[in-house]
Structure 1
Amino acid sequence: MSYDLYLWHGPQPVTAQRAMAICHELARSQNDSVIPDAAVPAFHDDLIARFPPLEALSDDTIDDSPWNMSPDATASRIILSIGLSRVSQVGPTVEELAAQHRLVCFDPSTGVVHNPPQTRFSGSLLLESCNGSMIIDPRPEDLRSQLEQLSQANFYACLERDEGWFVQVGIGQRAGNVPDGKFALEYREGVADRHFRVLADDLDDAVTLFEDFAAGRDAFKTRFAWVKY
């Protein structure tokens, strides 16, 4: 059994849904969705300097390797196959180097995508989900797409304008024991005393909340019977 990670260079953050589609293409050796970039071989060189490929190891040291197979690298993507017992050993290094080289790092087993750090200006919008997706200044279609991916594992999404100024939606026990079929909507205006919550019956309510907030509209404040949270 192995723990697989897929990495590639991307100029824009990708959603978990898009990352999964790219991952499936790469698994079929279809590389049209990714482009060559110097950051990819640079990441590979840094990684194998810390964790050499299997072919570089002796019979005495090969059992200490975290790799089930040596890293599979091209000019545009890298596929890692890590032994399950060694994930804690190599995983943090992979994420650290991916961020350093500004590569997307995707875990298809959980659907979590780690986008590289992005330049974000004051007042811009940041859409985040529990699955690790991050989109700066999302389009209206991005809002609905992300909210439609809510699940018991991917249990919340948050749209933030500045620190402490956000709207959020969550489902299930991990979002505060939200009853089945309900959506916990929240908004906060900077400080804890201005944090409100309400339960809604329909995903469209969450979409409308996010759309209003993104457009700078206050209509959502009177649409629901908010209570302090």
Structure 2
Amino acid sequence: MSVELMVWDEPEPITRDQARAVYLAVKKSEPVGGVLPEIVKELPGQVTVYPGHVLVGMDLESMDEMSAQVFTIAREHGLVCYDPQRDLVHNVAPLGVYQGMQLHTGDGMIVHDPDLGLVRDVLATMSPQNPFVALVNFGHHFLQVSPGYELEYKEQALQRALLTDLADVQRAFQEYATGERAFLTRHEWTPI
């Protein structure tokens, strides 16, 4: 089984719905030959070029590792990357305040310096197949959540808060990523 990612230029951040529409429209068009964009030389996997878009195919076994490479290369080139398997769009901005912050998911996705829209959207994908989402600033602190909205935060000591609403979880992750700490006083935390 193979999976794919699509990479292209967008002047502004786009939504998952917009990215999905672009992906579906491009898939109906014909690939191009001839002169290939420079990015093609850097991308891993099976690359197919469409007008203004690059499709990267890979096998399921290498998906996590190769996807991380594609996300990084796309970001370095200022390009959007759409993951149709997860229905997630990786925009270039806006980013959090912690350079090198990583987004980890229970289904194996790792993204360095994720955009804030991606973080929000990934939180809505928690399920038995994706049992946690974490934002990690290695050596400093992290925030993670599991289904049932059990939020864990560690800076010096690990503490837990139970939230009841996805929107509250998304707000806490947004605050964490942007360096705000209101989520620490807004919720009741217990040491673990």
Q: Compute the TM-score of the two structures, normalised by the length of structure 1.
A: 0.51
CA RMSD of aligned residues (A): 4.8
C-alpha separation in 2, matches of 1:218 and 1:104: 31
1:60-103 Cα offsets, whole Å, 9 max, x none, are: xxxxxx86xxx431351122456x59x75xx8499369717635
Q: Does 1:185 align with 2:151?
A: yes
- In the alignment, structure 1 segments of 5+ residues that lack a partner are 30-39, 51-65, 172-181
C-alpha separation in 2, matches of 1:204 and 1:94: 27
Change (3 A) 1:144 1:199: same
Q: Which residue of 1 aligns with 2:38?
A: 42
Q: What is the Cα deviation at residue 145 of structure 1?
A: 4.4
CA contact (8 A) 1:43 1:98 kept: no
Name which of 73, 77, 80 aligns with 1:99: 73
Change (3 A) 1:220 1:111: same
C-alpha separation in 2, matches of 1:220 and 1:18: 34
Q: Which residue of 2 aligns with 1:55?
A: none
Which amino acid is the alignment partner of residue 127 of structure 2? S
**Which aligned pairs between 1:46-125 and structure 2 lie closer than 5 A?**
46=41, 71-81=47-57, 84=59, 88=62, 92=66, 95=69, 99=73, 102=77, 103-111=79-87, 123=98
Q: Does 1:167 align with 2:133?
A: no
Q: What is the Cα deviation at residue 42 of structure 1?
A: 1.0
Which amino acid is the alignment partner of residue 206 of structure 1? V
Higher-Rg member (1/2)? 1
C-alpha separation in 2, matches of 1:152 and 1:162: 26
Q: Which SS does the other structure have where 1:207 is aligned?
A: helix
C-alpha separation in 2, matches of 1:26 and 1:18: 12
- In the alignment, structure 2 segments of 5+ residues that lack a partner are 30-35
Which amino acid is the alignment partner of residue 147 of structure 1? L
Q: Compute the TM-score of the two structures, normalised by the length of structure 2.
A: 0.58
C-alpha separation in 2, matches of 1:108 and 1:47: 21
1:16-68 Cα offsets, whole Å, 9 max, x none, are: 66543432232234xxxxxxxxxx71123x269x9xxxxxxxxxxxxxxx86x
Change (3 A) 1:145 1:72: closer
C-alpha separation in 2, matches of 1:74 and 1:114: 19
CA contact (8 A) 1:127 1:157 kept: no
Change (3 A) 1:194 1:76: same
